[in-house]
Chains A and B, each alone.
Chain A
Amino acid sequence: MFSRPVDTDRAPFREPIMTEQAILMRAVNKYYGAFHALKDIDLTVERGERIVICGPSGSGKSTLIRTINQLEAIESGTITVDGIELTAGGDNVAKVRRDVGMVFQSFNLFPHMTVLENCVLAPMKSRKISRTEAEATARQYLERVRIPEQADKYPAQLSGGQQQRVAIARALCMKPRIMLFDEPTSALDPEMVKEVLDTMIDLAREGMTMLCVTHEMDFARAVADRVIFMDNGVIVEENAPEAFFNNPTNERLKNFLGQIA
């Protein structure tokens, strides 16, 4: 185990430690009641890797990324994030959640708080950072997602694209090492998709480890190191974007690519 300094002002995207994978999933199975949602999933994500996950609706994409911060508990298998095994008990889950940011399709900003309050709550409560410091960090990230002037507004006063960028900034304020995106642009009007994707591309360029569930294939081509296709709770195909899009081997993937093209 490497030990991570708990200093709060560590560089947000410092050089990855190359000794361990960011995420290791081994033989992961997840059931909803009798329904087998994830079937023997094996997945390794290297530090700094950008992965795009696609697949038909109901194939288990959301379930897969939600097991990584244990929004969904698994029935069998192991998940290790940053060297911390999720299922090993103790406060491992809390530790992992502090280092894994998540962005949802429906933004899920806290509507009763201003943008700034949304951004400082978790750093203050779960990283125990002072308000002054948390606000400074928040303003810095709001600047990065290009909406510093909205800090004192409420989420309902912002456009969808702005809300999603706040959600990204809010996650970044925890200075995570890994970011999970679950269809971050699916709820947006078409003219707002680009501003959110651009923010994500910036993040990818800075070396963030990213898992993105998305059907934005141009985004996948531009930033993904690997694209994964899921169907029926199984990872059916995974490949570098070039090969993934140009030479798909699986029939269902060919079908799927035909549909979304």
Chain B
Amino acid sequence: MIREFTSAEVLFIVLAVRWTLILSAIAFLGGALGGLLIALTRTSQSKALRRIAAGFIQVFQGTPLLMQLFLVYFGLAVVGLPINPLLAAAVALTFHASAYLGEIWRGAIEAVPSGQAEAATALSLSYTDRMRHVVLPQALRLAIAPTVGFLVQLIKGTSLASIIGFTELTRAGQIINNATFKPFLVFGTVAALYFILCWPLSLLARHMETRMRRAITR
């Protein structure tokens, strides 16, 4: 039974965008928290802590995201949790985003001249105040463009969740394609939707990068 590619099918695909957005948002927010923790750990005084964070980053940057998805997906069952594609995808993508954002933000923290933290320390500011008021605000400016850039990668990366059966944008496309056998039309639509999500962000990232560069050379 071959279905036509009608507005109902298009609507099905368009509505799946919300799951791509939800998954991206969860992974980005979770990854932002995890990434901040990783970045602070990576730049801490303790060698042991730095090693642990470095190990985490290496594991998650050194293995394919797809394998991480599989491991979390099937791992849930092993530890007795119900198999839930959204949960598995959210957990795996959060780890993935934590590792990448952690690395981006570590670089940004280290790019803040050491004299800044020294001056803050000499003024007797605590570690927390030093980070919160002196180092992180400066690091944030450096990190904002690559962070938005990573968000684009993350949104596209959520398409892998289709493989463990989570019906986000890509999986919705597959479902419709299996029914309509109009791959060019279907996946063209899917790609266009990803583009609509990602393109403005890419522009924003580029815009912020130029602004940053101008601010530095000011």
Q: Which residues of A contact B (CB under 8 A)?
A: 69, 71, 94, 97-98, 100-102, 104, 106, 108-112, 121-122, 125-126, 156, 167, 170-171, 174
Contacts and interface: CB of A to CB of B under 8 A. Distances in A.
A109 B115 CA distance: 9
A126 B123 contact: yes
A178 to B, nearest CB: 12
Given A122-B120, A126-B123, 20 more contacts: A71-B122, A94-B126, A97-B123, A98-B124, A101-B122, A102-B122, A104-B115, A104-B119, A108-B113, A109-B119, A110-B116, A121-B123, A121-B134, A125-B125, A125-B133, A126-B124, A126-B126, A167-B119, A171-B122, A171-B123
A94 B124 contact: yes
Contacts of B110: none
B204 to A, nearest CB: 21
A69 B122 contact: yes
B153 interface: no
B121 interface: yes
Nearest to B138: A112
B126 A110 contact: no
Interface residue tally of chain B, by bracket?
10 to 19
B218 interface: yes
A48 B80 CA distance: 71
- Main SS class of interface, B: helix
A110 B119 contact: yes
A100 B118 CA distance: 13
Contacts of B126: 94, 125-126
A27 B218 CA distance: 47
Contact of A170 (B123, B129, B133): B123
B138 A111 contact: yes
A167 B126 CA distance: 19
Nearest to B135: A110
B108 to A, nearest CB: 13
Interface in B109-152: 113, 115-116, 118-126, 129, 133-134, 137-138, 141
Nearest to B134: A110
Contacts of A122: 120, 123-125
B115 A174 contact: no
Contacts of B121: 69, 71, 97
A98 B125 CA distance: 9
B129 A125 contact: yes
Q: Which A-B residue pairs are the 5 nearest by beta carbons?
A: A97-B124, A108-B119, A122-B123, A102-B122, A108-B115
Given A104-B115, A156-B218, A97 B133 contact: no
A174 B122 CA distance: 11
